[in-house]
Structure 1
Amino acid sequence: MEPSLRIFDEESGNPKSLRIGSRLDKYRIVSRLGEGGFATVYAAHDTIEDRRVALKIPDARYVANTQSVDDLKREVRIMAKLRHPGVLELKDARFVEGHFVMVFPLGEQTLADRLSRRLARATAIDYALQMIDAVAHAHQQRVLHRDIKPDNFILFPNQTIRLTDFGLARVQRNGKHVSASGTLGYMAPEQAMGHPGFRSDVFSLGLVLYRMLSGELPDYPFEAPLPGYQKLRRGLSSDFVSLIRKAVDPEPKRRFRDAIAMQNAVSRIRYPLSDRSISQLGRTQTTSRISQRRAG
């Protein structure tokens, strides 16, 4: 079902006070999941469909700003066009009792939460392949994410991971972005200078993969050897290590031009693990598994 886009001509009204247990239309708020600079995410119960969902609700002061409303429209329109198993699906988007509400499937936890505990090598590779696929799909649609980080990947059952939070995303048409928005630690050097592009998304994704597989996040400017590099190499094929190193190269021209090129490169690595315990056949099985869950 396509998400509702009725927000464009609807009056927001005076926002209702939000508390645990309160209702917004058919959604009953169950708990607060997290809070950022502009929005709060809640777990909620859809009382009509009898399922748990996630509600992303921007701060009312943010929504009151005309430019901010334009940003919300852009985020909704971008997410509505991204139809991929690895991108978190936008179920609904509209004003409810004075609040702008974006509705998503409710996951189990973020990748950032999961990285606080040991992650099996095979599971990490499974996640990595899905993450590269998701960002490649966004780039195929000319969508530049600009905020790829572990917090913006959501885990679901059956080892499924999905990319979310397109609040900073833009449709790349002329390459003339001048905003340095993003998250420090995962932002490419050229993005920090106001020149983001598909290669900067590749850099951010490469750093997420590096952290997931090494337990360390290198600080830019990088110094050799990179922290955790020996742990990164442990159990990985040399080709997969080289792919990650290319993704996080500080020089943009030496990286993959976009995640599509990165996806093409990883598809040629038949055995991501050095012991060959898993192969790219697992990638096909993963895609099939996710598609079956979405159909259900």
Structure 2
Amino acid sequence: MEYQEILSFVKEQVVQKTRKPLTFAEENLICQCWEENKPYEELEEPFCGHTIGYVKTQTAPKLWDRLTQVTGQKVTKRNFRSILEKAYEEYLKIDVTGQVLRYRYQIIEIFNKTDFSKIYLAKDLDLNNKLCIVKQIIRKKNDRVIRKNFDTEVGFLYQLGWHSQIPGYLAHFEDGESFYLVYEYVEGESLSKRLPEEESGLLWKEESVINLLLKVLNVLEFVHKRGVIHRDIRPSNLIQSPEGKIYLINFGLIKELGSLQTRTFTGTLGYSAPEQSQGIPKFCSDIYALGMVGIQGLTGVPPQKFKVNHETGKIIWHQLVKTSPEFTNILDKMACPHWKERYQSASEVLQDLKKLCSN
């Protein structure tokens, strides 16, 4: 059971039951206490400028109270992981197999990826049982904000157009208390299951990471030119087909439906750029996230676990793996915490990577 899948579920439940999304500091607290349940005094920054004392006396108690509301059980720092894992397991047991949506899309299974929506693998009964992905967005009563953002999401999909590395948008509809989006099904495995782990010793070589970056940057260049910021570049949103093709999935505003406000944290902790964590995403925020994915491939270390140089704000990773100076500089510029010093476009990164490959 993957941490990111549980966290996505928790974020969804918190919004649905408390009407307020997790703050960056709350998500950071969950992340740092997840594996080792560190004492508050050993937590790493950043916490949005708050001191560890403030986190201990203000942020943490409020978070445990909110999670208690969500789960119906008394949540503490000591037991929160076991309670959240159990709640997620129970959620996944809800059996909707065989249910037919809009007299056409028959659910086969629930995918383990939920970002403020339920995501199903289904077959299209009108097209010889062809497989597709159906995303369900549940609205609360007659929530006008959710309807408006759903319409915006559909507009984004039309605006995005077609690309060979993006699953095609097929349809959208409303049924009962839910909105639905239907996408092309892409056969493959998420990168989260392919990335190496530090202790395995089977780390990716520089050439493999460069190849990955080139493929993803190609589709990011296309997306950004159409005015769309993905905002959630992470391994589980990158699908590798059996032929080695990389697909970028999970576009748009679905993860923010019902809570789409300015300066609201979206994305995934560790991969989200500092400005995005403050609710001000830019095109180069996607480049930061992709740089973190590349560094993870080289080191086997997920970005949430890197220590940070408190003087520069940069993550400390050079000593973990040997790479060429040119490639090290490219990754450092991609993952630079200061957005003005980062690559500003996918085209710029592509240019430097292609120059490196030609040399």
TM-score, structure 2 normalization: 0.61
The alpha-carbon deviation at position 28 of structure 1 amounts to 1.1
1:1-296 mapped onto 2 (5 Å cutoff): 19-24=96-101, 25-49=103-127, 50-61=129-140, 64-82=142-160, 83-96=162-175, 99-107=178-186, 108-115=188-195, 121=205, 122-168=207-253, 178-219=263-304, 222-223=308-309, 226=315, 228-234=317-323, 237-271=324-358
Distance in 1 between residues matched to 2:182 and 2:203, nearest whole Å: 29
AA aligned to 2:328 is V
Separation in 2, partners of 1:86, 1:239: 28
Q: Which amino acid letter does the alignment assign opposite residue 266 of structure 1? A: L
Aligned to 2:55: none
Q: Name the CA distance, whole Å, in 1 between partners of 2:164 and 2:332.
A: 27
* 3-state SS of 1:246 partner: helix
Asked whether the 8 Å contact 1:27–1:44 carries over to 2, the reply is yes
Superposed CA deviations along residues 93-128 of structure 1, whole A, max 9, x for unmatched, are 222465322122223232223326757545543322
Q: Which amino acid aligns with 1:105?
A: E
> C-alpha distance in 1, partners of 2:150/2:307?
34
Change in Cα spacing, 1:52 to 1:120, as seen in structure 2 (3 Å) is farther
- Structure 1 residues 174-193: Cα deviation after superposition (integer angstroms, max 9, x where no partner): xx953332222111112222
- Rounded Cα–Cα distance in structure 2 between residues aligned with 1:21 and 1:212: 38
State the match for 2:67 in structure 1: none
Q: How far 1:158 sits from its partner (Å)?
A: 1.0
Q: Distance in 2 between matches of 1:123 and 1:48?
A: 41
Counterparts in 2 of 1:233 and 1:59: CA distance versus 1, 3 Å = farther
Distance 1:133 1:26, change over 3 A: same
Q: Give 2:37's aligned residue.
A: none
CA deviation digits over 1:135-192, x for unaligned, max 9?
12111112122222222222223111111222349xxxxxx95333222211111222
Structure with the largest fraction of strand = 1
> Do 1:180 and 1:196's aligned partners in 2 also have CA atoms closer than 8 Å?
no
Partners of 1:94 and 1:232 lie apart in 2 by 49
Q: Distance in 1 between matches of 2:345 and 2:302?
A: 21
CA deviation map 1:231-282 (0-9, x unaligned): 5535xx43232211111111212111122322232232225xxxx9xxxxxx
Identical residues among aligned pairs (%) = 26
How far, CA to CA, are the matches of 2:307 and 2:203 in structure 1? 27
- Which protein has the bigger helix share? 2
Shift of 1:20: 0.6
> For 1:34, what is the secondary structure of its paired residue?
coil
SS at 1:256 equivalent: coil
Q: Retained in 1: the 8 A contact 2:118–2:136?
A: yes
Equivalent-residue separation in structure 2 for 1:189 and 1:100 (angstroms):
32
* Residues 119 and 98 of structure 1: CA distance in aligned 2, closer, same or farther (over 3 Å): farther
> Structure 1 133/194 Cα, relative in aligned 2: closer, same or farther at 3 Å?
same
Two-structure CA RMSD over aligned residues (Å): 3.0
Distance 1:243 1:64 in 2: 48
Partner secondary structure for residue 137 of structure 1 = helix
Q: Which is higher, the Rg of structure 1 or of structure 2?
A: 2
Q: Which runs of 5+ in 2 are unaligned?
A: 1-93, 255-260
Counterpart of 1:251, as a letter, is H
Gaps of 5+ in 1: 1-16, 170-175, 277-296
TM-score of the two chains, using structure 1 as the length reference: 0.72
Deviations 1:5-55 (A, max 9, x none): xxxxxxxxxxxx971111112211111112425201111112222321111
Q: What CA distance in whole angstroms lies between the structure 2 residues aligned with 1:194 and 1:57? A: 25
